[in-house]
Amino acid sequence: MHAVILAGGKGVRLRPYTTTLPKPLVPIGDRYSILEIVLHQLAWHGFRTVTIAIGHLGHLIRSYVGDGGRWGMTIDYAVEHSPLGTIGPLLTLRDRLPDDFLVMNGDVLTDLDFADLLTAHLDGQTRLTVATYPRQVNIDFGVLKTLAGQVVEFAEKPTIDYRVSMGIYGVAKHVLDRYEPGLPLGFDELVLDELTYGNRPREYAFDGYWLDIGRPDDYDRANAEFGALRSVLLQGVEA
């Protein structure tokens, strides 16, 4: 099983923490970086090869992670010389990738079973599998639906349930065939193109622990919760 970790972003929303460190290397708790936790989890779930897409301060990631030997994995790197979006880095790697592989953002803290997601992707024989997570939004107003100048529906302070992408995907390499390497490509563009061509991505629904560390308050929450979640996030690692 092979995984690609996207770690090339500048982490602008997480400043000032990312002024001198790339976001995947900011510390969680007092011992581990986000990337170190992710690499341990991948190794725990049976992944033996990983490619890390690096860009902003990427030399620090390369220096910190090395060849992956301390996690029992072989790790190589793909360098982003300009921002390529979420999917763009995969296009330059296409010849180095297996037929199906895992892709994930390098700033995700979760107890999702990465191997199970990739297995579900393979069993579904699909082009793209998206890990999804439930969210709710509480609306503090009465919500009206109108038609031709008349109110046809009303709900008082409703709660809207929806699912969001977790930033973790199972990808079949041939889904990349129609795109030109070296050009930016976002996950949103890929999904919309798949839908346009009648290829519905598979959902991998998850409701365990997930935190996208994008903003300072997310980072503060991750540090506050890590002590209680350490044994779940770092299975097999002695305290």
Q: Give the model confidence (pLDDT) of 27-63 as tens digits.
A: 887 788 889 999 999 999 999 999 999 887 888 989 8
DSSP string, the chain: -EEEEEE----GGGTTTTSSS-GGGSEETTTEEHHHHHHHHHHHTT--EEEEEE-TTHHHHHHHHTTSGGGT-EEEEEE-SS--TTTHHHHHHGGGS-SEEEEEETTEEE---HHHHHHHHHHHT-SEEEEEEEEEEE--SEEEEEETTEEEEEEES-EEEEEEEEEEEEEEGGGGTTS-TTS---HHHHHHHHHHTT-PPEEEE--S-EEE--SHHHHHHHHHHHHHHHHHHTTT---
Least confident of 79-88, 99-108, 112-121: 79-88
Q: Judge contact between 34 and 26, C-beta under 8 A.
A: yes
pLDDT at residue 76 is higher than 70: yes
Q: Which pLDDT band holds residue 74 (cuts at 50, 70, 90)?
A: very high
Give the per-residue pLDDT at 183: 87
Residue 111, phi then psi, degrees to nearest 5: -105, 20
Give me the pLDDT at residue 23, please.
Answer: 81
Q: For residue 193, what pLDDT is reported? A: 94
**pTM > 0.85: yes or no:** yes
Domains and CATH numbers, the chain: 2-131+163-233 (3.90.550.10)
pLDDT-above-90 percentage for the chain: 53
Q: How far apart are CA 65 and CA 206, in angstroms?
A: 28
Q: Which amino acid is located at 46 in the chain?
A: G
How much of the chain exceeds pLDDT 70, in percent?
A: 94
pLDDT of residue 93 exceeding 80, the answer is yes
